[in-house]
Amino acid sequence: MSERTASGDSGRATIRDVAAQAGVSVASVSRVLSGNYPVSEELRRRVMKVVQDLDYVTNAHARSLAGGGTPTVAILINNITGAAFTHVAKGVEGAASLRGWLSLVGTTGDDPERELALVNLMRQQGVAAVILLGGAYDYDEYQLRMARFARSLDAAGSHLVLVGRPPLEGDVPATTVDYDNEGGAYAMASHLLSAGHRRVLVLPGHAELTTAQGRLNGARRAFEAYGVPFDPKLVLHGPYDYEHGYDAVEESLRLGLDFTAVLAGTDVVAAGAMQALRAGGLRVPEDVSIVGYDDIPLASQLTPQLTTVHVPYEEMGRVALRAVASRRETGTGRRKGGDGDHVVLGTHVVVRNSVQPPPVS
Amino acid sequence: MSERTASGDSGRATIRDVAAQAGVSVASVSRVLSGNYPVSEELRRRVMKVVQDLDYVTNAHARSLAGGGTPTVAILINNITGAAFTHVAKGVEGAASLRGWLSLVGTTGDDPERELALVNLMRQQGVAAVILLGGAYDYDEYQLRMARFARSLDAAGSHLVLVGRPPLEGDVPATTVDYDNEGGAYAMASHLLSAGHRRVLVLPGHAELTTAQGRLNGARRAFEAYGVPFDPKLVLHGPYDYEHGYDAVEESLRLGLDFTAVLAGTDVVAAGAMQALRAGGLRVPEDVSIVGYDDIPLASQLTPQLTTVHVPYEEMGRVALRAVASRRETGTGRRKGGDGDHVVLGTHVVVRNSVQPPPVS
DNA sequence: GCCGGTGCTGGAACCGTATCCCATTGTTTC
DNA sequence: GAAACAATGGGATACGGTTCCAGCACCGGC
pLDDT digits 0-9 by tens, A59-78: 999 999 998 789 999 999 98
Is residue A9 pLDDT above 60, yes or no? no
Q: Which of residues 4-23 of A touch B (CB under 8 A)?
A: 6, 10-12
Reply yes or no on whether the pLDDT at A29 is more than 90: yes
* H-type alpha helices, A226-266: 242-255
Pairing of strands A308-310, A348-350: antiparallel
The confidence score (pLDDT) of residue B2 equals 36
Hey, is the C-beta of B52 within 8 angstroms of any chain A C-beta?
no
Closest residue by C-alpha to C1' distance, nucleotide D6: B38
Whole-number pLDDT of residue A8: 43
The pLDDT > 90 percentage for chain B reads 80
Cβ proximity of B269 and B241 under 8 Å: yes
A47 touches strand D (CB under 7 A): no
Which DSSP category does A348 fall into? E
Task: pLDDT band for A35, please (50, 70, 90 cuts).
Answer: confident
User: For strand C, is any atom closer than 7 Å to the CB of A24?
Assistant: yes
pLDDT over 90, % of chain A: 80
Whether the beta carbon of A70 falls within 7 A of nucleic chain D: the reply is no
Asked if pLDDT for residue B141 goes beyond 90, the answer is: no
Nearest CA in chain A to B278: A303
Read off the pLDDT of residues B145-170 as tens digits, 9 standing for 90 and up: 999 999 999 999 999 999 998 889 88
Q: What does the pLDDT read at residue A340?
A: 52
Q: Do B59 and A93 touch (CB under 8 A)?
A: no
Summarised one tens digit per residue, pLDDT across range B239-248 is 999 999 999 9
Whole-model pTM? 0.91
Q: What is the pLDDT of residues A167-220, one digit of tens each?
A: 898 899 999 999 999 999 999 999 999 999 999 999 999 999 989 999 999 999
B 172-231: CB under 8 A from A: none
| A289 three-state secondary structure | strand
Cα distance between residue B177 and residue B316, in whole Å: 6
> Is residue B278's pLDDT more than 90?
yes
Judge contact between B239 and B270, C-beta under 8 A. Answer: no
CA–CA separation, A255 and A13 (whole Å): 71
